[in-house]
């Protein structure tokens, strides 16, 4: 189902987004290219954290992972990013994650480890076919609502 936009009139009268601070370009403001660059600059600042630990297609069967940090209990783990990580071909699901030491793992056989027994950070599930990556499903959001079970 598609999202509904506000009416044209409402869109034309929005001055800025309160949550991100992104300012909309006022109709007729010149020079437009400079205003567009300001908008793009503010959008990129607002989106910066969304790029942390993002898995991306480098062409063929290679993936890269953007740098980022994550908390493992009370330990801050820093991942410096990587590129040229070659995946197996013709796999329906390759599970990409960082282990508790911050090492990149590509598991093409079993799936993600059990969260309660093997600490890890889920990054993506990837499908490959005919020498290419056909789908990358972002799995970073799996951690937003993880609640550990007491006594497990």
Its domain, for residue 65, covers 52-143
CATH code (residue 110): 2.80.20.10
Give this prediction's pTM.
Answer: 0.76
Whether residue 2 is contained in a domain is answered as no
Whether residue 13 is contained in a domain is answered as yes
Q: Say whether both 120 and 63 belong to one domain.
A: yes
Residues of the chain with pLDDT > 90, as a percent, come to 51
Q: Say whether both 102 and 89 belong to one domain.
A: yes
Query: What is the Cα–Cα distance from 17 to 99, expressed in whole angstroms?
Result: 37
Q: Say whether both 57 and 123 belong to one domain.
A: yes
Q: What is the pLDDT of residue 149?
A: 54
pLDDT tens for each residue of 70-85 = 888 788 889 999 999 9
Q: Say whether both 37 and 108 belong to one domain.
A: no
Please give, one letter per residue, the 3-state secondary structure of the chain: CCCCCCCHHHHHCCCECCCCCCECCCCCCCCHHHHHHHHHHHHHHHHHHHHCCCEEEEECCEEEECCEEEEECCEEEEECCEEEEECCCCCCCEEEEEECCCCEEEECCCCCCCCCCCCEEEEEEEEEECCEEEEEEECHHHHCCCCCCCCC
Q: What is the pLDDT of residue 74?
A: 83
Query: What is the Cα–Cα distance from 93 to 27, expressed in whole angstroms?
Result: 47
């Amino acid at each position: 189902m598609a999202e509904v936009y506000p009416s044209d009139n409402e869109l034309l009268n929005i001055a800025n987004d309160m949550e991100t601070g992104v300012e909309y370009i006022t109709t007729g403001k010149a020079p437009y290219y400079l205003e567009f660059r300001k908008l793009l600059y503010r959008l990129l600042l607002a989106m910066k954290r969304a790029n942390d630990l993002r898995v991306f297609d480098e062409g063929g069967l290679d993936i890269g992972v953007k740098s980022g940090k994550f908390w493992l209990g009370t330990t801050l783990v820093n991942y410096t990013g990587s590129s040229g990580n070659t995946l197996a071909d013709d796999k329906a699901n390759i599970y990409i994650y960082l282990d508790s030491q911050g090492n990149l793992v590509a598991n093409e056989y079993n799936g993600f480890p059990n969260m309660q027994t093997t600490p890890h950070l889920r990054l993506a599930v990837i499908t490959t076919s005919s020498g290419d990556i056909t789908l990358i499903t972002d799995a970073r959001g799996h951690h937003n609502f993880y609640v550990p079970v007491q006594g497990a």
